[in-house]
Chains A and B, each alone.
Chain A
Amino acid sequence: MTKTKNTSLFQPQLLKEALIQSVIKLNPKIMFRNPVMFTVWIGTAVMLIVSLWTLAGANGQGSFVYNFVVFIVLLLTLLFANFAEALAEARGKAQADSLRKTREETPAKKISAIGKFHPNEVEIISSSQLKKGDLFFCEAGDIIPADGEILEGLATIDESAITGESAPVIREAGGDKSSVTGGTKVLSDRIQVVVTTQPGESFLDRMIALVEGASRQKTPNEIALTILLAGFTLVFIIVCVTLKPFADYASTPITIAAFISLFVCLIPTTIGGLLSAIGIAGMDRALRANVITKSGKAVETAGDIDVLLLDKTGTITIGNRKATNFYPAHGVEEKEFIKSVALSSMSDDTPEGKSIIELAGVKPGSLKIENARFIKFTAETRTSGIDFENTRIRKGASDAIRNLCEKAGNTFPKETIEIVSGISSNGGTPLVVSENEKVIGVIELQDIIKPGIQERFERLRKMGIKTVMVTGDNPLTAKYIADKAGVDDFIAEAKPEDKMNYIKQEQSEGRLVAMMGDGTNDAPALAQADVGVAMNSGTQAAKEAGNMVDLDNDPTKLIEVVEIGKQLLMTRGTLTTFSIANDVAKYFAIVPALFISSIPALQGLNIMKLHSPESAILSAVIFNAIIIPLLIPLALKGVAYKPIGASALLRRNLFIYGLGGVMVPFVGIKLIDMVVSLFF
């Protein structure tokens, strides 16, 4: 997990921008988007008129100063709510800007297949002129001008501008590490790259637009919550409007200021004011974790995930397997076997292949062979190898080789079966090698499980998430590693469609599935999964198919993403509870104040012993206003998620935000009243 630039919550520059924005957002057209705060806006407008009216000599509405103070407090309520949203936006923008800086204009060495003068002519243009499909090349020291895929070559690249990780990474043509990101720097070698995105349409551009609010749409859950809050607002409109004839019946005049104060205090302004800030902050948190989301909904869905599909390699085990042992078959010379093994891995540029050569201790160049034809690994044959002269060497999973041998009429030796199962049950991966469809031996590959991964899976289990390890290993090996790492299930000998089928199966049972992937093979599964996180280093197809892109290429990032999603929902839920629970105290502050002057007996209801009706009403609205900025840090940071089970979590949050929500305003209003009573 990389620690990323943690901007402090209140940077002066951000504050300044947010302050300006909060005034601009007073525009009723913008306010209208938020029904709760829009009603406050109307109330504020009415109070402005009433204070002017009292100035002009209206009777029975209280003093001008009192009305004007109520107006000011309501205006502040609006500004605070706007400020929360503006601050969240500003923070998101600042974060996005720092990423955007990486893609400022850079020169691009564009290659034109048919140039003005000669084919493959190189022309230096500005990065913004690059279109999808254009070719360019980069050499050591160049900044990559646009997102793209390497067609030729290999390079070490410094991606710290995007990921914050200073160690350079290797990107090469072919395979699943062929993707490069604009703004990163080539440190060595030379690569030829094809541009994969239109200018202005990269993931980063999309993310920036989301954070800036221009294309931010309310998520389904946010809509449902807005309905709930609008419903509460309506209840209190009814309560306040009907109070007028009730008061007339009881011959108790109630001032307009009191009506509006009661209304504003009762409606859920706290959550209403912070709601959009919470949503933006959620995406912002994702961005801080170096995950680019394509929609706000994806973050929310992440919180609901039931099943997590994780690739074994890189996620559960460190990097790649290494060859650790050679077991020549009975009657095969070890030297011969090693030679065959080395030959079969000559063109195998997978890390496993390389580790075999390493263990063999043979320089591939030293083996002179003619008419060699390299057989690439395919998901169908699940073998790779080399053909030369009359020799066909293959290596692959034991069942694949067994198939191959038995098809050719050769038996699969018993001792090989024993070796294979021996290796498997120790968590190793056996690779069986055949020469001309006869088994000549077994290579043992070993996995190393990442330290600390068990704790992470334990945490996921407590969240109620089932973890599934996906691996190409045989079931025995897979089971060994699954047990050791503590995952709940595994898919062994996985072909790309197995992943897809597993996801579909889980989904048909109503579960939500998340997965992480990088290869083109993963694209269909990434698209099928409810949350698909593509690695930034992955292929373009994978990045298009998923709904998030992880800039760090960290396979354990999914766990963080799930927590961010949960935090987002929890922050909404707890602040809603807090906001509604506040009403209890506000009722006890305002209702007696409304009637005390004409029905003195109701003094008994003034349990907080507030000084006067005016001070009680003012204290309640002031509390209502200042609670918003006080809660901004919580809204932006999010309520901490603890994987302690749903019931315990509910108990905890209900205690803190429910009981707290009832108690805090009693104390707060009383304290404010002690100050206000000096004036009113």
Chain B
Amino acid sequence: MNTEILGIIFMYGAVVLLAIPLGRYIGKIFTNEKTWLDKIFNPLDNLFYKLSGIDISKEMNWKQHLVALLTINAFWFILSMFVLTNMSWLPLNPDGNPSMTADLAFNTSVSFVTNTNLQHYSGETGLSYLGQLMLMLWQFISAGTGIAICAVVFFAMREPKVSSPSGRDREGLLGNFYFLFVRSCTRILLPLSFAAAIIYAFNGTPMTFEGKDTVTTLQGDTVQVSRGPVAAFVAIKQLGTNGGGFYGPNSTHPFENPNYFTNIIETISIFLIPIAMIFAMGFVLKRRKLAWTIFGVMTIGFLCLVIPSVYYEMQGNPAISQMGIAEPNGSMEGKEIRFGSAASAYWAINTTCTSNGSVNAMHDSMTPLTGMFTLLGMMINCFYGGVGVGFLNFYVFIILAVFISGLMVGRTPEFLGKKIEAREMKIAMLIALLHPFLILAGTALASFLYSGNPEAYSGWLANPGFHGFSEMLYEFSSSSANNGSGFEGLGDNTPFWNIACGLVMLLARYLPIIGPVAIAGILASKKYIPESAGTLKTDTATFGLMVFAVIAIVAALSFFPALTLGPIAEYFSLY
């Protein structure tokens, strides 16, 4: 078999094999069972609790959880605004990089707070090392936030009488947020990042606080090479579905992703925690079959996107074939020779299905349908999805599917023994609406401005026509999915894009967290109805199919007209 394809199959197989034990471990972290890392981390965690005066035995209801989450995020947001707008005179700036403008600092801070990591700057020239460290810290905080709040939803889904971490029977109490948050960072993200960073460093990724190096090339020119604490940065960037690169070109840069081996590790890192979270749910709820059902639906969705993408990239570009140029390696425009077309396409779908957004190839240069599948990955945003939040997005679709299929079996819809009624439907529907609304309304606004006065906004689009439309659609999809990758080719460091995308990112981050947590919290306080033969089982293939259909019709089809004007029109013009 083709080695390129074998490489992909290996990467997928490895991630699933690693995710199952990791899921069990994550489950233990949430429920405070003993792990062998306790010895190292218990003192560290206790130090954090002591320093911040947190009583971890105090359990919270869903509202208190959300307050804690927003408090943590708001505090660090202000600090990062300060660092980014003042880093020129702050320490750790050996290259003398300037401070950010306010709108760019806003966009950047929002983008890292929200786990989006949309970068309207280039790391080498736009940030000091202090700025990079600030953003690196954010990659931990935002990912930890997502994992912790997902754990809260897991707790809410449990059957009653299962004791919570503190051992008490819960009454709408769903653990302590700070406890979950600290443990998500120190027990899950930190050890994994540490291991990954060492691999990257040994493969040639820089890990230093020294400034630029000067290299004399073979031609005798001198070249300034940017360095920095790259290995540590890349590790958490991949693992926390963050995606914000140290360098502008992200993981296409030889220092961020030196070879095919690091590419394997980085690709595995993208999916590892999102998939492990699903298995963690299975362990926490003691419903492994449900975890496998959800995993199955997500996997089928992912395969629907990744298989055609890899196929089209490996086929090459018909426009080039028509010129009589052979493309034995597939469409290589905008791709790195060391990864090849298949691994690049595979990464592209990985990074857009999760809310990662790091890139190892230029998405702008992908063939039209691959471009569409990357867009769809972000529009659906729950085929694995971002760490923690991917599951929350999926949860909303489960609620919608439960409602419709519950009716179809002639019973008031129930999910895990809790009745789904008007209030939950209202929240679920609003959250399901939000994503299409933000993407379509944002793109509509941009299209309106552009088509009203193409000259004034000519700096926006590198390619007018269908492709330019895809660029705008991609930017808003990426913001709303908290993905952060760019189609590029879009002149996006302008006040319009900085502010519009900043607002979209904020809304698309917090509302889809608040919604599912509210639903889960309300359901948790409802009366538990034991299962009977008339109860709809949610851990069956039939129900999985139902969820898949709901996602396809609600999430994917509402973008059909927009996609028609972008990648689909481009496809039909090209092929």
| Chain A positions near chain B (C-beta within 8 angstroms) | 220-221, 223-225, 227-228, 230-232, 234-236, 238-239, 241-252, 262, 300, 303-304, 306, 461-466, 509-511, 565-570, 572-574, 576-577, 580-581, 583-584, 587, 591-592, 594-595, 599, 601-605, 641, 645-647, 649-651, 653-654, 657-658
Contact = CB atoms under 8 A, between A and B. Distances in A.
Given A300-B412, A511-B529, A647-B540, A242 B562 contact: yes
B312 to A, nearest CB: 15
Given A231-B429, A249-B469, A465 B532 contact: yes
B329 to A, nearest CB: 28
The 7 closest A-B pairs by CB, nearest first: A573-B407, A464-B534, A566-B410, A231-B429, A464-B533, A573-B408, A464-B532
Given A248-B448, A650-B546, A224 B561 contact: no
Nearest to B430: A231
B565 A228 contact: no
Given A231-B430, A306-B532, A647-B537, A250 B422 contact: no
Given A569-B412, A605-B564, A224 B420 contact: yes
A646 B535 contact: yes
Contacts of B404: 228, 573, 576-577, 580
Interface string B398-409: 001001111111
A354 B421 CA distance: 53
Nearest to A304: B412
B560 A591 contact: yes
A238 B447 contact: no
Interface in B515-547: 527-530, 532-537, 540, 542-543, 545-546
A577 to B, nearest CB: 6
Q: Is the interface of B mostly helix, strand, loop or mixed?
A: helix
B527 A221 contact: no
A238 B545 contact: no
Given A227-B426, A239-B558, A650-B409, A605 B444 contact: no
B553 interface: yes
A510 B529 contact: yes
B411 A566 contact: yes
Residue of A220, A306, A462 with most chain B CB atoms under a 10 A cut-off: A306
A568 B437 CA distance: 33
28 contacts: A220-B422, A223-B422, A224-B425, A227-B429, A228-B404, A228-B429, A231-B432, A239-B440, A242-B441, A246-B447, A246-B562, A249-B450, A249-B565, A250-B569, A303-B412, A461-B533, A509-B530, A569-B406, A573-B404, A574-B408, A576-B407, A595-B564, A599-B565, A605-B572, A647-B542, A654-B405, A654-B408, A658-B546
B549 interface: yes
Nearest to A243: B561
Contacts of B406: 569, 573
A238 B451 contact: no
Contacts of B440: 238-239, 242
Nearest to B435: A235
B215 interface: no
A504 B437 CA distance: 47
Interface in B545-559: 545-546, 549, 553-554, 557-558
A601 B569 contact: yes
B445 interface: yes
Contacts of A645: 533
A650 B573 CA distance: 42
Contacts of A602: 564, 568-569, 572
B447 A249 contact: yes
A231 B392 CA distance: 19
Given A221-B412, A511-B529, A646-B536, 8 more contacts: A245-B447, A248-B448, A510-B527, A569-B410, A570-B408, A584-B557, A647-B542, A650-B546
B545 A654 contact: yes
A473 B384 CA distance: 59
Contacts, number: 211
B570 to A, nearest CB: 9
B388 interface: no
Nearest to B410: A566
Contact of B409 (A230, A234, A300, A646): A646
Residue of B411, B412, B562 with most chain A CB atoms under a 10 A cut-off: B411
Q: Is the interface of A mostly helix, strand, loop or mixed?
A: helix
B562 to A, nearest CB: 6
Contacts of B403: 224-225, 228
Contact of B410 (A227, A262, A303): A303
Given A234-B433, A605-B568, A580 B553 contact: yes
A658 B408 CA distance: 11
A646 B422 contact: no
Interface in B275-318: none
Residue of A238, A581, A587, A605 with most chain B CB atoms under a 10 A cut-off: A238
Nearest to B545: A654
Contact of B400 (A228, A251, A462, A653): A228
A220 B421 contact: yes
B443 interface: yes
Contact of B411 (A462, A569, A592, A658): A569
Interface in B428-482: 429-430, 432-433, 436-437, 440-441, 443-445, 447-448, 450-451, 466, 469
A246 B443 contact: yes
Interface string B192-221: 000000000000000000000000000000
A418 B152 CA distance: 61
A235 B433 contact: yes
A646 B531 CA distance: 11
Contacts of B529: 306, 510-511
Given A250-B466, A300-B412, A572 B433 contact: no
B447 A248 contact: yes
A341 to B, nearest CB: 46
Given A224-B425, A583-B557, A511 B408 contact: no
Nearest to A306: B532
Nearest to A510: B529
A646 B572 contact: no
A601 B409 CA distance: 44
Residue of B408, B422, B466 with most chain A CB atoms under a 10 A cut-off: B408
Contacts of A580: 404, 553
Contacts of B131: none
B23 interface: no
Contacts of B245: none
Residue of A239, A572, A605 with most chain B CB atoms under a 10 A cut-off: A239
Contacts of A235: 432-433, 436, 554, 558
A384 B331 CA distance: 96
B165 interface: no
B244 interface: no
B417 interface: yes
A641 B529 CA distance: 22
B573 A601 contact: yes
Contacts of A248: 447-448, 451
Contacts of A587: 557, 560-561
A549 B366 CA distance: 68
Contacts of A252: 565
A461 to B, nearest CB: 7
Contacts of A510: 417, 527-530
Contacts of B437: 238
A674 B443 CA distance: 37
A238 B558 CA distance: 9
Contacts of B561: 239, 243, 246, 262, 587, 591, 594
B409 A653 contact: yes
A227 B444 contact: no
B117 to A, nearest CB: 26
Contact of A238 (B410, B426, B436): B436
A653 B408 contact: yes
Residue of A300, A569, A603 with most chain B CB atoms under a 10 A cut-off: A569
A437 B549 CA distance: 74
Contacts of A570: 407-410
